[in-house]
Structure 1
Amino acid sequence: MNIECDVLIVGTGIAGLYTALNLREDLKIILVSKSKLTDTNTYLAQGGIATAKNVDDIPFFIEDTLRAGNYKNKIEAVNVLATESIDNINKLLQLGVEFDRSCGVLLYTKEGAHSTNRIVHHKDYTGKAVADSLINKIKKKKNINVFEETVLVDLIASDNKCIGGIFTKENKQINIFSKETVLATGGIGGLFKNSTNQRTLTGDGLAVAIKNGVRVKDLGYIQFHPTALYDNKDDRRFLISESLRGEGAILLNSKGERFVDELLPRDEVSAKIYDEIKKTNVPHVYLSVAHLNDSYVKNRFPKIYSECLKRGIDITKDYIPVAPAQHYFMGGIDVDLNSKTSMKNLYAVGEVACTGVHGDNRLASNSLLEGLVFSKRAAESINKEINSIEINIFNPKIIYDFEKAKRENINIIVEEIKKKRWDLKDELIYY
């Protein structure tokens, strides 16, 4: 089956959805999801979205981002992120996202390595609140067609120009030809034994980019979140948001002793927890909010409270067993400040892209913000350039064994990770 469109967007997290909503309404857009629209890391995001609170806060926000990233960040990208943060939060408000307020004023929380409270949120399921609002807008757009349960297998490309993508749906091949293609396929957490990510996220966009010679960057920059719920029964590790620590939660070792400043950058807190695990031979430490007001905890963190209660943990009274788990991928497809890749007519946004904004350790709550800022820039670039592009349709290759093709894509990513981070080989499912 051959299908044509103006813009093909692969991925339905915040970056893919927001790209679509910032494109011109006269463009025919196809939005593809590997599984369901809501099976994304965006939908799992708890803590919130970081933003400069005002113009005066921009330089401090920049410095916090650089410090968390160990000053390996791309400074131009960090400047863009901080400077354009306020406008994008305002755009979300216009799109109907309801962030928590007090007396009509936005509430800001604090997380690790932030020098001030600057994170907007919707209780402890911010990602779901944002995604639901954006999806509702998407469904009302007559120019956007959504394909679910549709897996990207390869790009359609010629002479370093992207012309679309090859997909499989219900064991049938679908070739989608487009003037512009946007990869928003998310991270690589599905490759790891212990990850907070959706299990379907196996680096598909990154794999097809590598396969087609698209430039990639910093593939060894993989972040482990300090506080994932320690539960051997879970297929995906349930995240215990950093915003708990921002609101006063403390970390304790097996002896009930505090052992770390809870609001250090994530890599530093994770390292301290690993040290405690090695010293005590106990596979986790504890997070406690038992000293905080019960009703406040239940109202501020209803998702975490209810999910832990299902596992027999009342967080208002009990310690929460936690340990680090793979959480975020700072590397990815190398892009410029407008999210353009090294291949013509191909963009990458969100976690699959490497804007350089995070350095080697992402600052808390900068992921959703990056998805907003750089996907809007991608959309604006496409809006300006697309009229000069024609669809060049030709017969792409026919794929006979889809399962083999999908496994080959996984192998590409696993091999690249092992080259950069041999220390993580035992963490990989597909080693």
Structure 2
Amino acid sequence: MSKNYDVIIVGCGASGLYAALNLPSDMKVLVLAKRELTLCNSSLAQGGIAGVYKNPDDSPALHKEDTFIAGGFENDPDSTEVLVTEAAQDIDKIIKLGVDFDKTPDGDYHRTLEGGHGKHRIFHHKDATGYEIETKLLAYVQTLPNVEIWENALMCDCHKVGDGFSFLVLKDGEFITCNSHKAIFATGGIGRVYEFTTNSAIATGDGIAKAYDMGAEIKHLSYIQFHPTAFNNRNTRECFLISEAVRGEGAYLLNCNKERFMQNYDRRKELAPRDVVSHSIIFEVRRTGSDEFYIDISHKDPEFVKNRFPMIYKNLLEAGYDMTKEPVPIFPCHHYLMGGINVDTFARTNIDGLYACGECSHTGVHGNNRLASNSLLEALVFSRRAAADIAEKLDKSKTLESYPYEIDESAPHIPSGLRREIRALMQKSYFVLPDIGSLQDSLTRVAHIREMLVKGNYKLDRDYVEARSLATVAYIVLTEAVEIAFSSVPLDYVDYEHGF
């Protein structure tokens, strides 16, 4: 048996949910949540959502300028213009949907500052903005009679069939075929391809890998952002993020000698963009011979810190650190993906009827380094535009077809250790500053693992799907990295060492 829908959305984060609620109410929509409904990178976003909204002291032009500077001027001009000029309508809409942004005593919205921003334009809910947006969007979408949400529903495969798409979904141990006229991939990032990441457990690049297999253009997948201030307890693979906003509120970065060092690398000091700070930390490692670094906001009023960052304060306290009294250990960690499935300003891919939104997409708005708090904004703006394009173009009269999926129930499990090996290769060869000497060997090994998984006959389960996805995205990243490394030396790996 197969189930038919007008639109299937793969991913239940901010972009997937916002696309669903912006689709017309007469469309039958299915949203696939890979695991628990709120387990996604959107829920983990702490800092906030950037945008010019009811602020006469700011402008979209200034927001665009900051975005271009942070992105090394590799940003797509048209997409970035859409992002900054349409920010206000989506911020206004989610406020009307119940998102509770913090306010000042006079009733205005409190806008904070983060690295790379020249104006206070970050709307936030304490230090848990992503969770606030995610849960409010989810609550609204769950009331829509035209939208089904399937929890613990894994996209195992997808094929373009005729004018539509046919999905193979594994839900509660059962394989289900679902067909749709249009499809939106909103599957998040690739964080689990690294040993250490701030990303949630679902971030294995499934949508990007499947789109690649289907023939979609993948662009700049090697543009990976490493957040400079992940909590460094040296124990867990999923690293707790200490928000950009902590630096925005005046925190210092300290080296192993408990000395500030950013002034030696960039005139913006702690408020430099993330890639600059991460590179500077690695240069400081080389200078001092130590990988011990700290973030320190203990010079600020303790009550302000506790009220401004309640979640961070609580989590650090549970780990044995009081951020109001002492420096906290940090180190760069994989955080975000600027590249992905290449799309236009309506989130359309080069495959007719397939759209991509959120972190799995490449809109071009981030250039080679995302400006803080532009990610939630991107997720909203372009998923809304995808929904508008689908509303205009969807033809329900066309017949939907199913792909004849065959499942070998007797196939063996994949060999153990493959995902662990992929993570080790990526961590060694492509972390903050690429290890030129190991890139080619890592690519060769990853290509072998991917070929084995793609051509081999293995049990179709979560382990296989995620390993295949990780091998595919690692292969694409390292292929790009090798091409860049052996064609030229990127300037941004040189300039920051000497400062200004």
Q: Under a length normalisation based on structure 1, what TM-score does the superposition of the two structures give? A: 0.95
Match of residue 471 from structure 2: 411
Query: Distance between the aligned counterparts of 1:352 and 1:307, measured in 2?
Result: 28
Q: Contact 2:343–2:350 (CA<8 Å) still a contact in 1? A: yes
Which consecutive unaligned segments of at least 5 residues does structure 1 have?
424-431
1:162 positional shift: 4.2
Q: Is the 8 A contact 1:223 1:330 kept in 2?
A: yes
1:130 aligns with 2:133: yes
Which one of the candidate residues 214, 228, 231 is aligned to 2:230? Answer: 228
Deviation at 1:175? 1.4
2 CA distance for matches of 1:408 and 1:291?
48
- The one of 70, 74, 83 equivalent to 1:68 is 70
Deviations 1:150-187 (A, max 9, x none): 1112212136x541322222343221101111000000
Rounded to whole Å, the distance in 1 between the matches of 2:400 and 2:351 is 15
2:219/2:339 contact within 8 Å kept: yes
1:356 corresponds to: 364
Structure 1 distance, partners of 2:23, 2:254, is: 48
Contact 2:230 2:333 in 1 (8 A): yes
CA deviations over 1:48-83 (Å, ceiling 9, x no partner): 000024475111100100000000010100000000
Task: Report whether the alignment pairs 1:147 with 2:150.
Answer: yes
* 2:460 aligned residue: 402
Q: Which has the larger radius of gyration?
A: 2
Q: Distance in 2 between matches of 1:239 and 1:287?
A: 12
| Corresponding residue of 1:189 | 191
Question: Aligned equivalents of 1:406 and 1:251: distance in 2?
Answer: 36
Q: Is the 8 A contact 2:221 2:480 kept in 1?
A: yes
SS at match of 1:421: helix
Q: Distance in 1 between matches of 2:466 and 2:189?
A: 16
CA shift at 1:410, angstroms?
Answer: 2.5
| Residues 338-366 of structure 1: CA deviation (Å, up to 9, x unaligned) | 00111111100000100001001000000
Q: Which moved more, 1:113-122 or 1:398-407?
A: 398-407
Task: Describe how 1:8-23 pairs up with structure 2 within 5 A.
Answer: 8-23=8-23
| TM score, norm. by length of structure 2 | 0.82
- Please give the residue correspondences for 1:253-402 in structure 2 after superposition, counting only pairs within 5 Å: 253-260=255-262, 261-387=269-395, 390-400=398-408, 401-402=459-460
Structure 1 residue aligned with 2:107: 104
Q: Which residue of 2 aligns with 1:428?
A: none
One-letter amino acid matched to 1:353: S
**Which letter maps to 1:274?**
I
Give the C-alpha shift of residue 6 in structure 1.
1.0
1:245-268 CA distance string (max 9 Å, x none): 001111011112111100111110
1:242 maps to amino acid:
E
Distance across 1 between alignment mates of 2:332 and 2:100: 30
| CA deviation after TM superposition for structure 1 residue 405, in Å | 4.5
The answer (yes or no) to whether the contact 1:163–1:391 under 8 Å persists in 2 is no
* Native 8 Å contact 2:355 2:386 kept in 1: yes
| Equivalent pair of 1:155/1:162 in contact (CA under 8 Å) | no
| Maintained 8 Å contact 1:185/1:351 | yes
Contact 2:164–2:179 under 8 Å retained in 1: no
Q: Are 2:10 and 2:184, in contact at CA under 8 Å, matched by a contact in 1?
A: yes
- Contact 1:65-1:358 at 8 Å conserved across structures: yes
Q: Distance in 2 between matches of 1:51 and 1:164?
A: 37
- Tell me the CA shift for residue 397 of structure 1: 2.3
Q: Hey, what's the Cα distance between the residues in 1 that align with 2:403 and 2:204?
A: 27
Structure 1 equivalent of residue 91 of structure 2: 89
- SS of the equivalent of 2:168 reads strand
Match of 1:170 among 166, 169, 172: 172
Q: Judge conservation of contact 1:24–1:383 (CA < 8 Å) in 2.
A: yes
Q: Secondary structure at the match of 2:59?
A: helix
Match of 1:387, SS state, is coil
- Determine helix, strand or coil for the equivalent of 2:111: coil
Please provide the CA RMSD for this pair: 1.6
Cα pair distance change 1:239/1:405, threshold 3 Å: closer
Match of 1:241 among 240, 243, 255: 243
Distance in 1 between residues matched to 2:101 and 2:49, nearest whole Å? 10
| 3-state SS of paired residue (2:394) | helix
* 8 Å contact kept, 2:2–2:402: no
Residues 186-225 of structure 1: pairs in structure 2 closer than 5 A: 186-225=188-227
Residue by residue over 1:300-336, the C-alpha shift from the partner in whole angstroms, topping out at 9 and shown as x without a partner, is: 0000000000010000001010000010001100101
Give, in whole Å, the separation in 2 of the partners of 1:388 and 1:26: 11
Whether the 8 Å CA contact 1:335–1:354 is kept in 2: the answer is: yes
Deviation of 1:142 after TM superposition, in Å, equals: 1.4
Q: Distance in 2 between matches of 1:173 and 1:284?
A: 48
The 8 Å contact of residues 102 and 126 in structure 2, kept in 1 or not, is answered as: yes
Q: Determine the structure 2 residue equivalent to 1:429.
A: none
* Offset at residue 191 of structure 1 (A): 1.2
> 140-149 or 76-85, which moves further after superposition?
140-149
1:388 deviates by 5.5
Distance in structure 2 (CA, Å) of the matches to 1:155 and 1:394: 10
- Residue 148 of structure 1 and its aligned partner are, at CA, apart by 1.1
Identity of aligned residues (%): 41
Match of 2:452 in 1: none
- Kindly tell me: are residues 303 and 387 of structure 1, through their superposed partners in 2, closer, same or farther at Cα, counting changes over 3 Å? same
Letter in 2 for 1:71: F
CA distance in 2, matches of 1:151, 1:6: 19
- Give the AA of the match of 1:327: H
Secondary structure, counterpart of 1:234 in structure 2 = coil
Q: Is the 8 A contact 2:8 2:184 kept in 1?
A: yes
Secondary structure of the 1:168 match is: strand
For residue 60 of structure 1, give the secondary structure of its aligned residue in structure 2.
helix
1:14-50 deviation line (CA, Å, top 9, x unaligned): 1001001111111111110110110000100000000
